Amino acid sequence: MIIDLQRFVAAGQPHWSELEKMLTHLEAEPNATLSLEKLTRFHQLYERASADLARITTFSSEPATRRYLEHLVARAYGEIHETRERRSRLQLLKWFFHTLPQTFRRHVRAFFLTVAITLAGCAFGGMALIFDPDSRHVTMAFGHDQMTPEERVRQEEQSAGDRLDGQKSSFSAYLMTHNTKVSIFTLALGMTWGVGTIILLFYNGIIMGAIAVDYIMAGQTKFLLGWLMPHGVIEIPAILIAGQAGLLLAHALIGWGTRVPLSARLRAVSADVTTLIFGVALMLVWAGFVEAFLSQYHEPIIPYSVKIAFGTVELVLLVLFLAKSGTKAAAMGAPVSDPARSEVVLDTSRIGDRRSADA
Amino acid sequence: MRTSILQIRTVEGVVFSQLLAGPVTRFLAWAVDLLCIGVAMMAFGWLTSLVGLLSWNIAGTVSAIGYFVISIGYGIGCEWGWRGQTVGKKVLRLRVVDAEGMRLQFNQVVTRNLLRFVDSLPATYLVGGLTCWLSPKCQRLGDIAANTVVIRSPRVSEPDLDQLLAGKFNSLCQHPHLAARLRQNTSPAEAAVALQALIRRDDFDPVDRVELFAELAAHFQAKVAFPPEATDGIADEQYLRNVVDVIYRARGEKQRALIAA
């Protein structure tokens, strides 16, 4: 424990202060780039502080200096050894047209799994309604079990005036926020090893299947398509993509067929999960607008054919966007958000080599 | 085994530790944050009621979106803008950091905050609290998913040992064999207490200061009895200063050379 603490601090303090100053600068301006000389100096100061920490841990009992050095080394360690991509600035268009669809395609198998789970739910809900019509009271949400499809269609088509008059935008905002919360919940339940996500997707499928079969059996297919397609072709895929993100999380958590540690697996999918959920939020904003301003209006106000055509165009555009957008950039080797492919920001070993060569 | 310290070994072989925050401290920070969110929502409610004078539809829209953004965006915005801290975490001196000591990323902040939906189940963060309590790194589900930990970050300042500057006569050093015995008999914790008492001496009330230094001086006098000529006429505080000087400062060039080597 006996060292000349005063001498030790006096000798180290100028270097520690210099390192702290550089760290404060780097933390305040994350996009700042350092020249090679400054990087080399930064690395030297980090090594010096590390060595001082090692010495004071071994020889001294002085906790305040040790804590100060630990704090300094921890901050510098994060700056020096971080290898994940550092985005220079938020490029919204690039993110939307490249990163989002590329991320979706990279995990498309998880998406297909969510589709399969939802379709299984649809089949279950539809079959339940066919074989047990009374099940409508259990399988249908949002009050759809309170009236038959014929009654609903008659009521909608005969309603004079705009029943959403003066509340369209607030209804739209409610839909956006509610659906986004459901999507985040679907994603978050991925941490239950995917069980919660699968249950939510299956339950959504049951509701959709029961309602669809109910309207089809009542001969109201055209109304059903005109009612659901304008917003549903965006809203349903959005929920499925949230489920995709949830399953991605679950897959990383379970770690089938890989020896990579849990933390590394979760770290690898973290950026993609964030990208997907932001994409979902954008899709639900659009779906909320369409549902409030278009889907709730039926014939004779808006012909069903127009609504169906609108929904079809949206669906085609969505499929094209998810399947094709950003493919050229990916083929040309543009950087993607996968952390595993990110560039090393600062390769300290090279700096070390260069320094020893200079010496 | 559960520990409240996260130790990270750098590639240089140096180990540094982070003090992990426990579930209770984190719960208190969350309570402060909840209060902040409540206040922000109340303020926002008053604003939207003013908008409601113009149009209820617009007020309803702004209100629905505003509440959503505040409740979801508070944690994300604060932790990203303040490098892993919210108001509650600032008050309780907590900070979210990467579990491996790397720089905290935006997607980590987003992931841990979105996972609150599961951590808060079924109520009052029961799932998150239990997970945090059982987790070796005190992580809730959101932290596990984002690979983050919440650490305690006590105020750290550059060491200032000016008040221990040498140059004054130290009567204890006139008896090197006793000084050596004092160094030998003093544990690191005792040495640290004495040093901290001197460093913080201006923070104490005058009476407390006198009592504290009297107790500490008595404690060290009991360890090694210096002859009266070395201690007579010296105030307790000066005695302790001499003790710290003896403990921390190796005398002579030979010892310095040894340490440097």
Prediction ipTM score: 0.80
Which of B110, B156, B195 is facing A67, going by the closest CB pair? B156
Cβ-defined contact of B147 to A191 (cutoff 8 Å): no
Tell which of B6, B15, B16 to mutate to test the A interface (max A CBs under 10 Å): B16
Q: What is the mean pLDDT of residues B154-164?
A: 61
Between B194 and A354, residue with greater pLDDT: B194
Q: Are residues A23 and A109 in the same domain?
A: no
B124 lies within 8 A of chain A by CB:
no
Q: Are residues A130 and A78 in the same domain?
A: no
A84 lies within 8 A of chain B by CB:
yes
**Amino acid, single-letter form, for residue B197:** A
Residue A190 counted as domain residue: yes
Helical (H) or strand (E) element with A353: helix A348-358
B138-144: long-range contacts at Cβ-Cβ below 8 A with a sequence spacing of 24 or more? B138/B4, B138/B20, B138/B21, B138/B22, B138/B23, B138/B26, B139/B99, B140/B26, B140/B115, B141/A191, B141/B115, B142/B111, B142/B112, B142/B113, B142/B114, B142/B115, B142/B116, B142/B118, B143/B96, B143/B99, B143/B112, B144/A191, B144/A262, B144/A266
C-alpha distances in Å from residue B164, one per residue of A10, A202, B176, B184:
12, 71, 19, 21
Hey, which of A195-209, B100-114, B120-134, B190-204 has the most confident mean pLDDT?
A195-209
Q: Which residue of B has its CA nearest to A24?
A: B83
Write the burial class of residue B259 (CB in 10 Å: 0-12 exposed, 13-18 middle, 19+ buried). middle
Provide the β-strand partners of residue B149: B97
Which of B58, B68, B159 is facing A64, going by the closest CB pair? B159
Q: Are residues A75 and A120 in the same domain?
A: no
Cβ-defined contact of A172 to B61 (cutoff 8 Å): yes
Q: Are residues A169 and A248 in the same domain?
A: yes
Closest residue by Cα to residue A156 from A58, A212, A106, A226: A226
Residue A333 counted as domain residue: yes
Helical (H) or strand (E) element with B16: strand B15-20
Residue A174 counted as domain residue: yes
Structural domain total, chain A: 2
Nearby residues of A41 by Cβ (< 8 Å), 6 or more positions away: A22
Q: Are residues A206 and A304 in the same domain?
A: yes
What's the pLDDT tens digit per position in B225-256? 888 888 887 888 888 888 888 887 654 444 44
Q: Are residues A115 and A259 in the same domain?
A: yes
Q: Are residues A25 and A135 in the same domain?
A: no
* Residue whose pair of structure tokens reads 């969350």 in the numeric block: B30
Q: Are the beta carbons of A118 and A208 closer than 8 angstroms?
A: yes
Q: Are residues A113 and A155 in the same domain?
A: yes
Residue A87 counted as domain residue: no
B99 lies within 8 A of chain A by CB:
yes
What's the pLDDT tens digit per position in A68-100? 888 888 888 888 887 666 655 668 889 999 999
Q: How far is A1 from chain B (nearest CA, A)?
A: 7
Q: Which of A32, A47, A82 is the last residue of a domain?
A: A82
| Count, residues in chain B | 261
Cβ-defined contact of A74 to B18 (cutoff 8 Å): yes
Residue A330 counted as domain residue: yes
CA distance A66 to A69: 5
Residue A117 counted as domain residue: yes
Q: Which of A47, A82, A117 is the last residue of a domain?
A: A82
Cβ-defined contact of B117 to A59 (cutoff 8 Å): no
For chain B positions 155-194, those within 8 Å of chain A (CB to CB) are: 156-159, 161, 164-166, 183, 187-189, 191-192
Closest residue by Cα to residue A145 from A136, A133, A135, A153: A136
Cβ-defined contact of B101 to A271 (cutoff 8 Å): no
Q: How many CB atoms lie within 10 A of CB A99?
A: 24
Q: Are residues A150 and A237 in the same domain?
A: yes
Q: Are the beta carbons of B19 and B151 closer than 8 angstroms?
A: yes
Chain B residue numbers touching A173 (CB-CB < 8 A):
60-62, 64-65
CA distance B241 to A57: 23
Q: Which residue of A has its CA nearest to B151?
A: A71
Chain A residue numbers touching B247 (CB-CB < 8 A):
2
A263 lies within 8 A of chain B by CB:
yes
CA distance A231 to B82: 38
Chain B residue numbers touching A59 (CB-CB < 8 A):
259
Nearby residues of B198 by Cβ (< 8 Å), 6 or more positions away: B163, B164, B237, B240, B241, B244
Q: Are residues A253 and A312 in the same domain?
A: yes
Domain locations in chain B? Answer: 5-152, 162-260
Chain A residue numbers touching B63 (CB-CB < 8 A):
170
Q: Which domain holds residue A299?
A: 92-340
Nearby residues of A21 by Cβ (< 8 Å), 6 or more positions away: none
Q: Which of A37, A56, A82 is the last residue of a domain?
A: A82
For chain B positions 212-241, those within 8 Å of chain A (CB to CB) are: none
Q: How far is A79 from chain B (nearest CA, A)?
A: 6
Strands (E), B109-225: 148-152
Cβ-defined contact of B10 to A5 (cutoff 8 Å): no
Cβ-defined contact of A266 to B13 (cutoff 8 Å): no
Instruction: Decide if pLDDT at B27 tops 50.
Output: yes
The reported pLDDT for the residue numbered B199 is 79
Q: Are residues A239 and A317 in the same domain?
A: yes
CA distance A68 to A18: 14
Chain B residue numbers touching A167 (CB-CB < 8 A):
56-57, 60
Instruction: Decide if pLDDT at B261 tops 80.
Output: no
Q: Which residues in chain A land under pLDDT 50?
A: 1-2, 335-359
Residue A309 counted as domain residue: yes
DSSP label at residue B125: T
What's the pLDDT tens digit per position in B62-107? 888 899 999 999 999 999 988 889 999 999 999 999 988 888 889 9
Size of interface A-B (CB pairs under 8 A): 187
Between B19 and A284, residue with greater pLDDT: A284
Residue A169 counted as domain residue: yes
A21 lies within 8 A of chain B by CB:
no
A79 lies within 8 A of chain B by CB:
yes
CA distance A112 to A166: 40
Closest residue by Cα to residue A268 from A248, A239, A286, A243: A248
Between A345 and B163, residue with greater pLDDT: B163
Q: How far is B198 from chain A (nearest CA, A)?
A: 13
CA distance A136 to A145: 6
Termini Cα distance of chain B: 38
CA distance A109 to A115: 10
